[in-house]
Chains A and B, each alone.
Chain A
């Protein structure tokens, strides 16, 4: 797929996600909109995964550490063929396997059960270390929220990854500048991210997290620095693609009303054309 096609697919995925949140009456729409381009690029451009063999030992691994945006992952997994597309409409319904946070025991393609923030990166360090021990060349990708980077466990993992020279590990920080209740700068400002990570021994690249050319290029194996884990600081907008949600802290987990839903859908459908 070309970057333009990928962008359109990401916007279709956004629209499906929006419908899921609207129908379920719950979800984390802001962070789902901000991460959707990255997720779409990973599954439809970068990663080698096979829905027919979801546990293939040589598959690339993705950990969505910001597990509250599970619906974004479900939509992309369905689009890729890991679960039936119709199943998305069961999101949060009684006994659905599509819970508010992803469950690897129930859903093919999910690698680990996230939800408590700050768990994904240590697991990613373990995956990448395991691949090295096995002599395998599959890659590990971890997506965290920027607020999530306030968790100390991430920084323990960051040090370990550098020490272990995990150049098969890529951390993507969805840097939308907002956390649950406020902007990061008004809570616990983790900036400047780039020099911090560089000082911790990582190769760091900053991109526009909504520009498919930049996302695909940054995820490409050609950009790996031998002997160093890689961090992509993806500058994004919470609520990207929906004008009244974009960069608005109110939309961490708010649910649109009928009129807002229709307007949002219109904007996303326009962008998918």
Chain B
């Protein structure tokens, strides 16, 4: 079996996040970080050492945290509000709606250890609803980078962008997919490889698994297009329509419930503009059992082999 990431080193994207934050913080003193007793888990120790007064730790109080972020934005600051994704998005959802989305404040929401990164800590600590929750709100680009370089580029974009956004980061190690000079364009899918038989669309920790599945399918003579869809909203509808037209079948993979996430966002475009058979992989609307982060992805049918098998099954439905 050819594994494109056989000897690849795995990287924790949180490091890329804080490296960039510390760098842009040097030149732009309006950059501040807000957190909820999560200096360690958000890897903000370095930022705190460099800019002690610009790290605002409100304690274990997420609603307050997001409100404080909105107030800081009002005062001209550029707050990166960082917390474990379930507590940021779930606990403070109404603050995100009214104070960030509706008020259009320049708040960067950074969901740390999202998806099922917390593994055995269980469903209270998993954040597999956040695409659906935040995607339902206007004005907030929803972004799930796939490797450290895309993470760094997305953070640089966020720091320069005037307006809110939601960056969904993991803590689970991923191999490099992009080069260090990768440019992040919000709302643009990146075609990692072209192919004609079907398209796999993924983001976050699933993109490299999609690439591995594509390598397996290639051995079986199936040519796969792989799209990294980092931005879930606004979604790259043109890339989806082109994929549907040119490859005729689409598999989506996400570390999220299949209710309302990436697969749903893609399906919305497909039914509106270019109907083709689809298969949406993700967590099938259940709370996860006890297992590690990567084992959960495997258990929910998102090992490279299982993704390839789902793709094979989908091809049979292709007209």
Residues of A near any B CB (own CB < 8 A): 24, 26, 67, 92-101, 103, 113-118, 147-148, 150-152, 179-182, 184, 187-188
Main secondary structure of the interface of A (DSSP, over half): loop
Nearest B residue to A24 by beta-carbon distance? B120
Minimal beta-carbon separation of A66 from chain B (angstroms): 11
How would residues 2 to 45 of chain B score, 1 for a CB under 8 Å from any chain A CB and 0 otherwise? 00000000000000000000000000000000000111110000
Give the chain A neighbours of B91 by CB distance below 8 A.
116
Give the chain A neighbours of B57 by CB distance below 8 A.
181-182, 187-188
If the complex has contacts A94-B295, A150-B59, A150-B60, are A115 and B121 also in contact, measured as CB distance less than 8 A?
A: yes
State the CA gap A187–B61 with chains docked (Å): 11
Q: Which 10 pairs from chain A and chain B are nearest by CB?
A: A188-B59, A115-B124, A150-B59, A100-B121, A99-B122, A92-B120, A150-B60, A181-B39, A99-B290, A180-B37
How would residues 114 to 145 of chain B score, 1 for a CB under 8 Å from any chain A CB and 0 otherwise? 00001011101100000000000000000000
Give the chain B neighbours of A152 by CB distance below 8 A.
61, 63-64
Minimal beta-carbon separation of B241 from chain A (angstroms): 40
State the CA gap A150–B57 with chains docked (Å): 12
Nearest A residue to B57 by beta-carbon distance? A187
Q: Is the CB of A187 within 8 A of B37?
A: yes
Give the chain B neighbours of A99 by CB distance below 8 A.
120-122, 290
Within 8 A of A (CB), among B41-73: 41, 57-61, 63-64
Interface residues on chain B, number (Cβ under 8 Å): 27
B87 CB–A CB distance under 8 Å? yes
Main secondary structure of the interface of B (DSSP, over half): loop
State the CA gap A94–B290 with chains docked (Å): 5
Q: Is the CB of B290 within 8 A of A98?
A: yes
List, sorted by A's number, 20 A–B pairs whose CB atoms are closer than 8 Å. Answer: A92-B290, A94-B289, A95-B290, A98-B290, A99-B120, A99-B290, A100-B125, A101-B124, A115-B121, A116-B124, A147-B37, A147-B60, A148-B60, A151-B60, A151-B61, A152-B61, A180-B41, A181-B41, A188-B60, A188-B61
Nearest A residue to B45 by beta-carbon distance? A181
Minimal beta-carbon separation of A229 from chain B (angstroms): 22
Give the chain B neighbours of A151 by CB distance below 8 A.
60-61
Minimal beta-carbon separation of A116 from chain B (angstroms): 5
B86 CB–A CB distance under 8 Å? yes
Nearest A residue to B87 by beta-carbon distance? A116
- From A67, A93, A97, A179, B124 is in contact (CB under 8 Å) with A67
Q: Is the CB of A116 within 8 A of B86?
A: yes
Give the chain B neighbours of A67 by CB distance below 8 A.
124
B291 CB–A CB distance under 8 Å? yes
Q: Is the CB of B120 within 8 A of A113?
A: no
B275 CB–A CB distance under 8 Å? no
Q: Is the CB of A101 within 8 A of B291?
A: no
State the CA gap A71–B290 with chains docked (Å): 14
Give the chain A neighbours of B301 by CB distance below 8 A.
none
Give the chain A neighbours of B173 by CB distance below 8 A.
none
Q: Is the CB of B58 within 8 A of A188?
A: yes
Nearest A residue to B126 by beta-carbon distance? A115
Minimal beta-carbon separation of B128 from chain A (angstroms): 14
Q: Is the CB of B125 within 8 A of A101?
A: yes
Give the chain B neighbours of A24 by CB distance below 8 A.
120
Give the chain B neighbours of A180 by CB distance below 8 A.
37-38, 40-41, 60
How would residues 145 to 185 of chain B score, 1 for a CB under 8 Å from any chain A CB and 0 otherwise? 00000000000000000000000000000000000000000
State the CA gap A182–B35 with chains docked (Å): 13
Nearest A residue to B291 by beta-carbon distance? A94
Minimal beta-carbon separation of A91 from chain B (angstroms): 9
B187 CB–A CB distance under 8 Å? no
- Given A99-B120, A187-B37, 7 more contacts at CB 8 Å? A95-B290, A96-B290, A100-B290, A115-B122, A147-B60, A150-B37, A188-B57
How would residues 284 to 318 of chain B score, 1 for a CB under 8 Å from any chain A CB and 0 otherwise? 00000111100100000000000000000000000
B90 CB–A CB distance under 8 Å? yes
If the complex has contacts A94-B290, A95-B290, A181-B37, are A114 and B124 also in contact, measured as CB distance less than 8 A?
A: yes
Q: Is the CB of A187 within 8 A of B59?
A: yes
State the CA gap A188–B39 with chains docked (Å): 14
Minimal beta-carbon separation of B2 from chain A (angstroms): 28
The listed residue with most B CB atoms (<10 A of its CB), out of A24, A95, A98, A115, is A115
